[in-house]
Structure 1
Amino acid sequence: MEMSSPLGQGGLFLLQFAVGLVIFALMLRFLMRATYADWNHPVVTFVAKVTNPICAPLNKALPTKGRWDWAAVITAVILQSLFVLLIGFLTNRDFGIGFIALAALSEVMNQLLDMLFWLIIIQVILSWVSPQYNPNTAIFIQMTQPVLEPFRRMLPPMGGFDLSPILAIVAIKLVQIVIVGSIATAAQSMIGMPG
């Protein structure tokens, strides 16, 4: 199946979508544990059940201690690396180990930072729309609170307005541009020419 054909491109899109969905779930698992989200919440329970089988092999070697679920991150990087390797094979590109590792790392970091960005945006919108405590949407507060706390210390609420989400969003975007962008650029410089 030629990758340039509509069928080939459709298959690649489906594969990319499936891998992206799994990595999204793994990054969500990592964030939920890192922010001490309520493990009795239905969304958290669902994500844990879906990702437990995927993380099981690495959890044996890297048991989760405290808030950092490194098995979820490493599993995401391995899956993304396999996807990059497959793309190289299908497009007849000579992707070296260095490129595969850096490309996978930058993609996973981008997913994690994008997720943080959107969680903060959703939490801000919910705080305007529904300022009272709601157990269904409390998960967004639980997951963004630890991220926003350092920024609240830097910029306490002024006149009833909490500007920490703006600082957090700027910081996230700067990390994506400067750090993740540098990793992606380093990866691009390693690409071999078509074989």
Structure 2
Amino acid sequence: MNSLIEGYIRTLIDIYQYVIIAYVLLSWLPSARDSFIGEMLGKLCEPYLGVFRRFIPPIGGMIDISPIVALIALRFVGEGIIAVVRFIIP
């Protein structure tokens, strides 16, 4: 039971990480964020990435490293949730 829950949590974290990576890669293509997929990914990613963009300004005015920090934080939060699950469900 415990490993099943851990597997679901890890899978959800992995999927969301891929969604964030796809959204960041779309920023490199002109007008790709205006497409249906770009708008859908924006609705999924912007609320989460916006938290980090408030605190991390772009480097040199152009390079946004907030998605990198967001991915690292997402991994830490996921591992924290798994640790709590392991503690609650022996």
The aligned residue for residue 173 of structure 1 is: 75
CA contact (8 A) 1:120 1:165 kept: yes
CA shift, 1:166, in A, is 0.6
CA shift, 1:113, in A, is 1.1
In 2, Cα distance between equivalents of 1:131 and 1:154: 26
CA contact (8 A) 1:148 1:168 kept: yes
Larger Rg: 1
TM-score, normalised to structure 2, is 0.76
CA shift, 1:146, in A, is 0.7
Pick from 145, 149, 158 the counterpart of residue 46 of structure 2.
145
- Name the SS for the 1:134 alignment partner: coil
CA shift, 1:111, in A, is 1.8
In 2, Cα distance between equivalents of 1:142 and 1:130: 18
The aligned residue for residue 103 of structure 1 is: 3
Matches within 5 A, 1:149-164: 149-158=50-59, 159-164=61-66
For structure 1, the residue ranges without an aligned partner over 5 or more in a row are: 1-99, 191-195
CA shift, 1:125, in A, is 0.8
Q: Can you list the C-alpha shifts for 1:40-64, whole angstroms capped at 9, x where unaligned?
A: xxxxxxxxxxxxxxxxxxxxxxxxx
Kindly indicate whether structure 1 or structure 2 has the higher relative contact order, using CA contacts under 8 Å at least 6 residues apart. 2
- Name the SS for the 2:28 alignment partner: helix
TM-score, normalised to structure 1, is 0.39
1:136 is the counterpart of 2:33: no
The amino acid of 2:67's aligned partner reads: P
In 2, Cα distance between equivalents of 1:109 and 1:136: 28
How many positions carry a matched residue from both structures? 86
Change (3 A) 1:133 1:114: closer
The amino acid of 1:179's aligned partner reads: I
CA RMSD between the two structures: 2.2
